[in-house]
Amino acid sequence: MVPSKVKMTRDPDGRFWYRHADIEDAMRPEDVIHVKGLCDDGLTGINLIDKARHSLGLGMAAEKYGAKFFSNNARPAVILQSDNKLSDKAVANLKTSWANQAQGLDNSHRTMVLEEGITAKILGISGREAQLIQTRQHEIIQTANWVGTPPHKLGATVTRSYASLEQEQKSYLDESLDGWLVAWEQELTDKLLTEAQNRGDTHFIEFNRNALVRADMTARFAGYASAIAARWMLKNEARAKENMNPIEGLDDEPDPVEPAPDDDEADEDLDDPADDDDKDEAAADLKADLRQTHLRMIVEVVQRMAKRVGVGAQSAAKASLKAGDTGDLFFEWLDGDGDRGLKTAGRVFADLLRDPVRAFALHDVTDAAAMLSRIVGGCVDEWRADFLAASDVKVEDFQLEVGRTALSIERDAAALAAALITGRNE
């Protein structure tokens, strides 16, 4: 639907409705997918074109001026002077004759002959006046700032300070795209999934961001090989990440086994202490890689859970706003025992995290149960405190502040997980 034709209204009972200029009946909020941009009332997004009209208008004016400048020079380049007084007809004929002989690229550098005491005075322009390219580049940067896009994506010649394309794309995802992707995920989850699917946590909607931050081929394949060797990724899963079809029976094949050495080679191996050192070093490297793998698994679970908690918080805030209450439904989600409340999310969180924590605890000979309790309890307590602080605002800012907090906890999830794993957050 065209946004300019749609308005949100509130009935006497506090419920919101969508009304379209070309549709007689009002539409319920649950029947409309509404992805809001920046807004000042939590309901209707701000018209970006209206807010940026001065910046965009300046860019359009600079473009038009540049076209006029280079077609007609935007000012007379030459003044024709005469000691005699010329009639209007003579002035018109002189202008026409000059234009026919001097204007345009085809007449460049042609020899001109002036009669009847007429002289030509050439007017110069400053270098700064001719630097329209700088003005155009500035307007590209201004436009990029309004839409939250890196200027070089719009063609601005600016210096980029990233060491690799992967880092540049990661910055683009984090700073420009992710806010919109999360908004779409939350809106689609709220409007398209059933209550049973949300309650059972059996379905979720998520954009695949991996394509934007893919490493180079060598790094990707090395990562797949390490994951398969550590037995936390299947070969067909690696093929799927490369958009390749699975091969039947590929994951059932045994890992290649090196042939056993003959007796002479075995004796040589026993007599060479350097081989033992190499084996010890390889075993230590493998153990370190496995530890990092299990650590990443814990962090990824925390990040995914932070996103789901954020979606739940925003759904509860939206439900409170629709119901016209003073946040009762939101506080019920925050402290109640409902199927979709924060406490239930904590129990699901613990189930998902149990196996990765057990695997990681083996490396540091740590009490897995204590670590699990510390991570889950610390995350839930931290998130509850953040959302409680977000609710202490004006009613019209309530939903917006909850949305900001949801983005914040997702962004800080990895750092929080690392602090809780090491115990630094206690």
pLDDT at 382: 92
pLDDT at 385: 92
E-only strand ranges, 305-410: none
pLDDT at 276: 63
Q: What does the DSSP 8-state code read for residue 213?
A: G
pLDDT at 125: 56
pLDDT at 399: 82
Show the tokens assigned to 287: 């153990």
pLDDT at 378: 92
Consecutive 10-residue averages of pLDDT for the chain (426 residues): 82 83 86 82 74 78 73 62 79 79 64 71 59 73 81 74 68 82 87 78 78 65 81 84 80 59 53 63 77 83 87 84 75 81 86 85 80 91 91 81 88 89 66
Q: 155: buried, middle or exposed (CB in 10 Å: 19+, 13-18, 0-12)?
A: exposed
Show the tokens assigned to 78: 């030459």
Show the tokens assigned to 390: 């977000």
Q: What angle do CA 79, 83, 87 make, to 5 degrees?
A: 80
- Three-class DSSP category at 121: strand
As a whole number of angstroms, the distance between CA 173 and CA 1 comes to 27
pLDDT at 383: 92
- Three-class DSSP category at 88: helix
pLDDT at 136: 73
- Three-class DSSP category at 17: strand
Show the tokens assigned to 399: 């939903």
Q: What is the largest CA-CA distance in the chain?
A: 118
